[in-house]
Structure 1
C-alpha cells in the first residue's frame, strides 16, 4: 500500500487511502472554477485603465486622467462611483447568489451548482464583450457575479469533501492557484490587447467565456462528492465514489463516519437557524472574521486596480500594465508555496507569517507614497522610488498569496459539520463578497481622501487579524473533515461551546496520523 496513509484513532478505527490519479484529476478540474474568479479580478482593472474603454463609457474619468496641469491631484484622477460600480457590482450579485447556491448545492449537489455557475459566467462574459452602453456592462457584471457566487460556494466544498485528510489543504489550495492563474492570464491579455487600435477591451472582457466553458464542461464529467450523495440518499453511489477517490475498497470505517455525520445532518431541518446555536459558535465566528479580514488586508485594491494604481503613481500606460503582470506572476508562484507547505507546516504558521510580512510591506509602501506625493497629491515618482514601491507591493502580494489568499477559502470549507456545511460556506462567500463590493466601491474615493494613509489603514487591520489568528484559530491540518469537533474541544477558548456528546467525539477524543511504510 505504498503511497497511501492510514488515519488511525484511539477508538480503533482506521481510514485507508492512497493519493490516486482519480482524485487529483477531479480536484484539478473542479478547481478550474477559480479561473473564472481570477480572470475577472485581473481583467477589470486593466480594462478600466484602457483609453478607448474609458472614453466610450466613462468620458469624464477619461478627461480627468489626461489632465496634466500642475495642480492635478494624483490621488483623485480616477475617483468615480460609476467606474467603481463597474467593478464592484459583480460582488454584490455574488453575495446574493451565494445564498441561492447554498440550497442548490444541498438539494442537487455540488457539481450541478458548479455547472450553473459556469453557464451564468459564460452569459455575462458575452454580454460584456458586446456591450454598447453602461447598462449592458452592469447587467453583464451581474451575471458574472451570479457565476462567481455559485462557483465560490461549490468548489471549495467539493475539494474539501473529495480530498484525503492528509492532502486536503494542498488540493483545496488548487482553487486559489487557479484564481491567481486567472489573474495572471488576464493581466497578460490586458497588456497585449491594450495595443490594439480598436476593441481591445471587448476581447479582454469577452475572453472570460473561455474559463466559463472550462468550468461548465468540466462539471458535466465530474462525479459528485460522497458527502453530497449521502446527503441526498444515494448511498451506493457514495460508496463507489469513495472507493475510487481513496484507491481502495476498504473504506468501511470512513463510510460509516460519513453516514453518521449524514444522520446528524438529517435531524437539522433549518441549517440557517441551527448555525446560530452555541455549539457552532467557533465555526461561525472564525468564518465571519476570516472572510472579513481577508478583504480588509487591502489585497483587492492591488488586484482590481493595479494598473489604475500604478498610473496614479505616475507610471505610463504600458508600464502600469506591465507592473500588473509582474504582481500577477508573484501572486501565482507564491500560491505554489502554500500548496506545498500547508499540509506540512499547517494553517496557523502561514497565517501568522503572511500577516507579519504584509504589515511591514504596507507600512513601507504608505511611507514611500507619502514621501513622494505628500498630502497634496502633486508630483511624480522618481524611478528609484517607483522600483522600491513595486518591490514591496510584490512582497505584500507574495505574503498574501501563501497565507490569507488560499487559507481564507480552505479553513471555512473544512471546519463546518455536514448538517450546516452549505450554509456555512454561503456565509463565507457572502461576507467575502460583501466586503469585496464595499472595498471595490469605495477604494478610489478613499484613496482620494485618505491618500497615503489608506495603506496604514489596511495595515492596521492586518495587525488586528494576525493577533486574532494567534489566539483564536486552531490548527486543522490532517484532521478528518467529519471529525473536526475534536479540534474545537482541544482549544483553550472554543472548548466551552462544544457539548461532550457532539458528533465526532464519543469515545474517540484524539487522532493520530501515521504514514504507511
Structure 2
C-alpha cells in the first residue's frame, strides 16, 4: 500500500505539473480558461464516483471486496488516460505550418523566446532572483504559487477530504447519511465547477478569486456559528453548518476550484513556466498535507473554532488578491509577458488595467512581423 501510494504520488505529481502547462500552451487565449475548468470538472467527477462507491460498499462491510475493488478500479482510469494521451497533440501551440495565422504565431514565439533571452540574460534559476528584472520573474512565481496557497489554506480539503468526518464528528450525523451528503456535495461541486466555464473568461480570474474568498469566509463563519450553538437542545442550529457547507461549494466551485491550475501556467514566462508551475504544484500538495494531517486533531480539540480559522484566512486573502494580483483572462501568453514589461517600465505612471490595454492592442501578428523583420535584419548584418 505504501509503495503503491508513493508510485501513484509521483505519477500524479507529474500530471498536475504537465497538464495545466500543456493546456495553456495548446489552447486559444479566449478558450484557455474554460478548457482548464473542464479538466477540473472531470477531476471532480472522479470524486463523485469515489463518494458513491464508498457509500455503496458500506452494504458489504465484512467482505474484502469492499476495499479491494475501489483500489483496483483506479487502474481502469489509468488505462483510459494512457489511451487518450497517445492521440493527444504535442505542445507548443501549432499543428500545421501552412496557415498564415499559425505562421504568425510561430514567428511570435520565436520573437518571444529571443526577447526573453535578451531581457533576462541568465539561466532560469538565476533569473528568478535577478533584481529589477523587466520580467518580474520572482513576483510571477509567487503569484502563481499564491493561488495554490489560497485554495488549500482556504479550507477546501476540510470539506472535500474530510466531509464525512465533519458531518459525523462535528454535526452528529450517522455514518451512512454523512456519506450520502458527501456524494451529493461533490455532485454540487461538479455542477458549480461547470458554471465556472461560462464565467472564467468573461469575468476574469481576479474578480472570481475575490468573489470566492469573500463567500468562503462568510460560509465558514456561519458553519462555525452553527456548530457552536447547535446541539441536542437546539437541532435547528445543527442544520446551519450543513446548509453552508453546500453554499461554500457554490463559491469555491466558481472560483478557487480551477483558478490555481490555470493561473501559474499563464502568469509565468516561457522560460520559467515549468519551474513556476512546479513550485505552485509543490505548494499545493504541501498544504494539502498540512490540512489533511491537522484536521482530525483540530476537530477533536478546538471543534467549531477550527472552522472559524478558515473564515479568517479567506478574509485575509481579499486585500492580497485585490492589491497584488494581475488579470490574465483573454490575453495571449506573450501579451502577459509584455504586460509585466510595460508596467515595469512605466512604474506608477499607469495602472495594471492601462498596461493590460496597451499589451492587448499590440496585435500578435504585428509583433510577429516586426520580430521577423528584426531577425532578417540581424541575419543580413551577420552575412555582411
Is TM > 0.5 for Structure 1 vs Structure 2?
Answer: yes
Q: Supply the distance in 1 between the matched residues of 2:318 and 2:12 (Cα, whole angstroms).
A: 28
Which residue of 2 is the match for residue 328 of structure 1?
Answer: 186
Structure 1 residues 160, 243: CA separation in 2 closer, same or farther (over 3 Å shift)?
farther
Matching residue within 138, 158, 163 for 1:281: 138
Structure 1 residues 490, 372: CA separation in 2 closer, same or farther (over 3 Å shift)?
farther
How many pairs are equivalent? Answer: 347
Q: TM-score, normalised by structure 1?
A: 0.63
Counterpart secondary structure, 2:217? helix
CA drift at 1:380? 8.7
CA drift at 1:294? 1.4
- 1:275 and 1:424 in contact (8 A); partners too: no
- 2:145 and 2:276 in contact (8 A); partners too: no
Which residue of 1 is the match for residue 197 of structure 2?
Answer: 339
Matches within 5 A, 1:210-229: 210-226=76-92
Structure 1 runs of 4+ aligned residues shifted over 4 Å read 264-269, 493-497
Matching residue within 387, 393, 417 for 2:245: 393
Q: Supply the distance in 1 between the matched residues of 2:233 and 2:282 (Cα, whole angstroms).
A: 39
Which residue of 1 is the match for residue 320 of structure 2?
Answer: 468
CA drift at 1:449? 2.1
Which residue of 2 is the match for residue 83 of structure 1?
Answer: none
Q: Supply the distance in 1 between the matched residues of 2:188 and 2:97 (Cα, whole angstroms).
A: 38
CA drift at 1:416? 0.9
- 2:342 and 2:359 in contact (8 A); partners too: no
Counterpart secondary structure, 1:404? coil
Which residue of 2 is the match for residue 429 of structure 1?
Answer: 281
- 2:141 and 2:276 in contact (8 A); partners too: yes
Which residue of 2 is the match for residue 510 of structure 1?
Answer: 359
Q: Supply the distance in 1 between the matched residues of 2:101 and 2:272 (Cα, whole angstroms).
A: 28
Q: Supply the distance in 1 between the matched residues of 2:247 and 2:96 (Cα, whole angstroms).
A: 41
Structure 1 residues 489, 271: CA separation in 2 closer, same or farther (over 3 Å shift)?
closer
CA drift at 1:160? 0.4
- Say yes or no: does 1:175 pair with 2:28: no
- Say yes or no: does 1:148 pair with 2:12: yes
Q: Supply the distance in 2 between the matched residues of 1:449 and 1:474 (Cα, whole angstroms).
A: 39
CA drift at 1:184? 1.1
Matches within 5 A, 1:12-23: none
Which residue of 2 is the match for residue 366 of structure 1?
Answer: 224
Counterpart secondary structure, 1:191? helix
Q: What are the superposed Cα offsets for residues 190-222 of structure 1, whole Å, 9 maximum, x if unpaired?
A: 111221241312222221212222222211111
Structure 1 residues 416, 147: CA separation in 2 closer, same or farther (over 3 Å shift)?
same
Q: What are the superposed Cα offsets for residues 254-301 of structure 1, whole Å, 9 maximum, x if unpaired?
A: 111112233356787742332233421331221232221211111111
Q: Supply the distance in 2 between the matched residues of 1:386 and 1:210 (Cα, whole angstroms).
A: 40
CA drift at 1:431? 0.7
* Unpaired stretches in structure 1, ≥5 consecutive residues: 1-136, 228-238, 374-378, 498-504
> Which structure: greater helix fraction?
2
* Unpaired stretches in structure 2, ≥5 consecutive residues: 349-354, 364-384
| Aligned-residue RMSD, C-alpha | 2.6
Q: TM-score, normalised by structure 2?
A: 0.83
Matches within 5 A, 1:185-334: 185-197=49-61, 198-199=63-64, 200-226=66-92, 239=94, 241=95, 248-263=99-114, 270-278=123-131, 279-312=136-169, 313-334=171-192
